[in-house]
Amino acid sequence: MSDDENQVEVEAEEEVKELKPRRQKKLDYGKRLVQLIAEHKQIMLLHLDNVGSRQLQEVRIALRGRATFLMGKNTIIRRVMRNEIENGNEALAVMLPYIVGNVGFCFANGDLPNLRKEITSNVVPAPARSGAFAPVDVFIPPGPTPLDPGQTAFFQALNIATKISKGAIEIINQVHLIKKGERVSSSAVALLTKLGIKPFFFGIGVSHVYENGSFYEAAILDLGESEMLGKFFQAVSKVASISLAINIPTMASFPHHLQRSFRRCVALALETGVIFKEAQPFKDYLDNPDAFKAAAAPAGGDAAAAPAAAEEEDDEDEEEAGTAMGGLFGGDDAAEEGY
């Protein structure tokens, strides 16, 4: 064997040795991901755009013992999830379309609203970057700036009204420099840099939650108990309406069906004269409605008597006032005397 052939074999063996650790890392990562999915009922999908390693480490330390973070390449994550779906865990299929960009996972079995609040509250100020999409609106307040009068041309190019005050440039009106959702221009970046303003705050975002097979937006975690109950009763009301419309009884429409049936039974009893216990009050009312009016009369009479008494008192007060005024100015005698 020649020296060239020996050199090729050595290089091939070295490449195989380098590939084995990489493959082993992928296998270990896959096992770790599968283990975390099996051990936790809740998974928060994280977005890590513009998040540094130090900031991520701070959040991990804060949630140690209550939640577990796992990051990785999207291709490996999708491959592992597809294998889990083929093995029977079909609920994970809803997460596959959202494994895009800088994403990660937070596995937990605890209070998701508080965990999400702790994750998203860790933010750091960041300068504006040219070409990036602005997450919020940026305003420059009116007032003095640290810039000297020689840089007024820069403000004029941006159509910002300024004046010279005490040897420095002063902005006259508030300026809406960057609009939310729009790309940041290079001139805006230059102005913010000159003013020393870091307008943006970047942190870990929580977009969706996977919980016991359900997948929903993380904004639902902001709903309180009363709001959740209100939405639940609203959904029950819609289900009951649909059930009544198509005449298919359900648990939601059962009370309404029961009420309708009772009304029909009462109507039938009153029509045929075969009265049962629950229908007796209705028959008594139809036979003698005056008795029910007499029973309700005292309360109504007292209520009606009170305004009448009040009106009489008002009339008496007006008469007394008129008499007093007449006595003050002489009454009829004063009128006869020409006052």
Q: Give the ranges where the chain is alpha helix by DSSP (H).
A: 3-39, 53-62, 74-86, 112-121, 152-157, 186-195, 225-246, 254-272, 280-287, 289-328, 331-336
Q: Are strands 205-211 and 42-47 parallel, antiparallel or unpaired?
A: antiparallel
Q: Whole-angstrom Cα distance, residue 301 to residue 290?
A: 15
> For residue 171, what is the enclosing H or E element?
strand 168-171
Q: Answer yes or no: is pLDDT of 292 > 80.
A: no
pLDDT of residue 17: 52
Residue count (the chain) = 339
Instruction: Examine the pLDDT at 290 and tell me if it is beyond 50.
Output: yes
Interhelix angle 225-246/254-272, rounded to 10 degrees, is 50
Are residues 75 and 151 in contact, defined by beta-carbon separation less than 8 angstroms? Answer: no
Residue 24's closest CA among 14, 32, 12?
32
- What are φ and ψ of residue 136, in 5° steps? -145, 165
Q: How does pLDDT run across 114-173, given as a tens digit for each residue?
A: 888 888 888 888 788 888 888 788 888 888 888 888 888 878 877 888 888 888 888 888
pLDDT of residue 188: 85
Instruction: Tokens 């230059």: give the residue.
Output: 190
* Residues 213-249: tens digit of each pLDDT: 888 888 888 777 787 788 888 888 898 889 888 888 8
Strand partners, 223: none
Residue 11 has pLDDT above 60, yes or no: no
For Cα atoms 254, 256, 260, give the angle at the middle one, nearest 5 degrees: 115
d(CA 180, CA 13): 55
What does the mean pLDDT of the chain come to? 78
171-205 per-position pLDDT tens digit: 888 888 888 888 888 888 888 888 888 888 888 88
| Token duo for residue 72 | 């990785």
Asked whether the predicted pLDDT for residue 304 surpasses 70, the reply is no
User: How far, rounded to the nearest angstrom, does the alpha carbon of residue 15 sit from its chain's CA centroid?
Assistant: 52
Give the pLDDT score at 333.
45
Beta bridge partners of 103: 47
> Does residue 320 carry a pLDDT above 70?
no
Task: Read off the pLDDT of residues 46-63 as tens digits, 9 standing for 90 and up.
Answer: 988 878 888 888 888 888
